[in-house]
Amino acid sequence: EPEVTQTPSHQVTQMGQEVILRCVPISNHLYFYWYRQILGQKVEFLVSFYNNEISEKSEIFDDQFSVERPDGSNFTLKIRSTKLEDSAMYFCASSGVIKYETQYFGPGTRLLVL
């Protein structure tokens, strides 16, 4: 069964450093999302992406964040200058055209900013 994959599974970085989190959505999907979950808190929407542009973003998704689909298979989230409060689990999700409401989630990347 097709699934969303994410790399790396864990990332430790120093405050102020740039990180790129990578996702490979399900191959025929067209809608892509990033969510994050700070430890002990809710899963929060960050951004949705369709047709090579951001379709919606949350207040969390400030100028330090960017997303890109550099090729036909990868979807990335970049944090330009990480802060301590960016430490969280980051989930990528994708959905198809026919049943677009169903989002399939990847296993997540645990980011720790020191």
**Which one of 62, 63, 71, 101 is in contact with another protein (CB under 8 A)?**
101
**Integer Cα distance of 83 and 14 in angstroms:** 8
Positive/negative CA dihedral, 12, 16, 18, 23: positive
CA distances to 6, 28, 33, 55, 69 from 72, in Å: 15, 10, 16, 18, 7
Q: Does residue 94 bind another protein (CB under 8 A)?
A: no
Q: Does residue 44 bind another protein (CB under 8 A)?
A: yes
Tokens representing residue 64 in the block: 């330090």
Q: Count of CB atoms within 10 A of residue 100's CB?
A: 12
What character string, x for contact with another protein (CB under 8 A) and - otherwise, covers 50-79?
A: x----xx-x---------------------
Closer to another protein by CB, 13 or 44: give it: 44
| Residues from 3 through 22 that contact another protein (CB under 8 A) | 4, 6
**Which one of 19, 21, 29, 48 is in contact with another protein (CB under 8 A)?**
48
Tell me which residues touch another protein (CB under 8 A). 4, 6, 31, 33, 35, 41-45, 48-50, 55-56, 58, 91, 93, 95, 100-108
